[in-house]
Structure 1
Amino acid sequence: MGGLVRVAGGALELPGGAVVRFMRTLRLPESGTHPLPPGLGAFPLRAAADGPDGADGAVDQGPDGGGVLLPVLQREAVWLGFAASAPVALQVRAGAVCAVSGRPWSGRLAQDPQNYLVLPRQPWLDGISSGRGTTRQFVATPPGPGPAAAAGARLQLQVFELRAHARARAGAAQDRAGWGAARPGGRSGPVPGVPLAAPAPGEAVRVDAAATGLGAGGRMRQEVYPDPRPLDDWRDEPSARVWVHLVSAARWEQVTGRPAPDSPVDRAAYASAGLPWFAHYDEDAPDRPDPAT
């Protein structure tokens, strides 16, 4: 392992030509299954070690730190948008859980159930598998006591490249099959298809928000496209792995030396989408009056 990971132009660039953007959306109510919420632009992103001097650069891939930062408010949810110039397999870890399968995390690729995404065929991931072809949003929760709170909410990405024999016969056409259907907020991706088989009810493992600071929010349908290749086409070890830290606006400013940009997610955005606005969303509003004034 040790492929270069870098932040460039607000996106995370991974080995194999994969690109990940972290996109804003609205938090869905935690009861019921809801339509896909709109995309509201990308979160600012920077390497954790950059400090105040710049947003772009190489990313530290240390096992317990480094990685990248994005400032997430309680009234926001995160979805991951993908692109790739060649086929790669991407794993997404949320706490002790594989976000793709909903099962306990394993850093090895598996297909029963499939615990990774195939890029560029997969255009996005909205959250953590909750069974029956649904997913629960990636959201940040107020930190609790203990050492986990200091780490904040974290995702981990691992990218695997094809072996040489698979690259020689791989064609990008099969990975692009089905692209082109428009989705809310400017999303585009595969036309509706058959969801990947999900764990039976009760088998999906949920993120422990109190322990990780990463919450599993509202539920929606999630299309995850099965890998058409044999598992042996992929390398055994990841080319790179990187932590993604969802931090508060205050923590962002502490690390970077600059305030987090204003968020377009506000009460009006919720009203426009016909979604409820909860009182605790006001607690992190950027336009609160300074109590000293």
Structure 2
Amino acid sequence: MLTLDNDRLCFAFPEVHRHAHCAIECLRTLRLPDDNQTYPLPPKLGRFPMQAVDDYPDQAPPDWQRHGGVFLPIYQSEALWIGLYSAAQAMQRFTNRDPDGPRYTYPFAVKIATGKINAISGTPWQDNLQAAPQDYVVLPDQRWLDGYNVAKGLVRQFVASPLGSGHGVEVQASGATTHGGLQLAVYPMKTDAYAAYCQQRAEREANWLREAQAASIRYGIDKANQVELAAGGLIRQDIIKDPHGLDVWDQSRVSRCFVHLLNAEHYQAVTGERPPHPPFRARDYAKAGLPWFHLDSDGEALEGAAPLAKIQSIAAVTVAQTGQPMPDNDPLGPLPVRQIGGKPVRQGEL
């Protein structure tokens, strides 16, 4: 079951387990310079508003109606990242905590593609999960995804460009711009595998405790108004290797969603609602001394995808097409970086 709730896509599999639910959201962020330098994780600047395609039958073009799903407004050259929340994470973040809710987050495998080119493996869309190379992320290990997996520990940021402009990953990988948008597919862990997972977690926690104790418009949306995603600047981010293996995922029960991307300047004409404000510039954010972020990953990082490593970035395509550098693409100076998660504290003498 898939629902749209307060600009979040909520996936639930009650036939698998009462705790088998997760949420996915698309978040606004700063577009980083595309200068082949690597940058820390940019901040979250709020969710993109989402609308169901079926609520706008007179405005949605035929291909949107065929795919269904949702759409969101995004400005040209704006960046986004994808937030991923599983079971207990989603309940804590989006609802009042259920005292009878899950003690452990329910694991999911999630495929993410842009223009039906897989953002993890760089391969064309396939319905089934693939292990070699891994073409999906695993929740709760992967909490977000900022871009395309181009090298181990590095992604190229998701950046919006006009559909058919030649900047997108889809046209570079497949030779044509056919789909655009984002494609998501969510696969829950099998019921028996989740029981074993919970048992393993409980045993690990018992061991940790013992160690701690011992230590102390009609068809108004035409191609010109649609947006696709291109590869932007480099961000330090690990794509975590599946720690469970392919057999634990219930591939007979999958929930899919097509996220269409609309140029934000046309959003009000389609929906009657004002679009979000234009995005902030990274250099203004940096000049204000506001924080950037770093997360130490617990799991093993995947290698980069060879097909994605060959993709030209949006800045490189801009130079090739126009002979001019991409606007607002100056490098950023030293940035204040804040650690995400717990920070170890040294125990000295009492």
The equivalences for 1:1-293 within 5 A come to 4-15=1-12, 16-32=20-36, 33-51=38-56, 64-85=66-87, 86-144=106-164, 153-171=180-198, 213-266=228-281, 268-269=284-285, 271-272=287-288, 279=327
1:162 Cα deviation (Å)? 1.7
Q: Contact 1:87/1:119 (CA < 8 Å) preserved in 2?
A: yes
1:122 Cα deviation (Å)? 1.3
| 2:309 equivalent in structure 1 | none
Report the TM-score when normalising by structure 1.
0.68
AA in 2 matched with 1:47? A
**Cα distance per residue 1:34-93 (max 9 Å; x no partner):** 2222221211122122249xxxxxxxxx89422111111124200011111111111101
Name which one, 1 or 2, has greater alpha-carbon Rg. Answer: 2
Give distance in 2, aligned partners of 1:121 and 1:251.
37
| 1:202 equivalent in structure 2 | none
Give distance in 1, aligned partners of 2:268 and 2:234.
31
Say if 1:233 and 1:150 are closer, same or farther in 2 by CA, change over 3 A: closer
Q: Contact 1:23/1:43 (CA < 8 Å) preserved in 2?
A: yes
Q: Contact 2:114/2:181 (CA < 8 Å) preserved in 1?
A: yes
AA in 1 matched with 2:7? G
Say if 1:261 and 1:213 are closer, same or farther in 2 by CA, change over 3 A: closer
Give distance in 1, aligned partners of 2:249 and 2:184.
16
Which piece of structure 1 moves more, 41-50 or 239-248?
41-50
Give distance in 1, aligned partners of 2:134 and 2:65.
24
Q: Structure 1 or 2: larger strand share? A: 1
Say if 1:128 and 1:46 are closer, same or farther in 2 by CA, change over 3 A: same
Give distance in 1, aligned partners of 2:285 and 2:54.
33
Give distance in 1, aligned partners of 2:189 and 2:30.
35
Say if 1:37 and 1:273 are closer, same or farther in 2 by CA, change over 3 A: farther
Q: What stretches of structure 2 of length at least 5 have no aligned partner?
A: 13-19, 58-63, 88-105, 205-225, 291-324, 330-350
Q: Contact 1:153/1:247 (CA < 8 Å) preserved in 2?
A: no
Q: Structure 1 or 2: larger helix share? A: 2
In the comparison of the two structures, how many residue pairs are matched?
A: 233
1:18 Cα deviation (Å)? 1.0
Say if 1:117 and 1:273 are closer, same or farther in 2 by CA, change over 3 A: farther
**Cα distance per residue 1:137-187 (max 9 Å; x no partner):** 1111023379x999774010000112232133222985xx9xxxxxxxxxx
Q: Contact 1:76/1:265 (CA < 8 Å) preserved in 2?
A: no
Report the TM-score when normalising by structure 2.
0.58
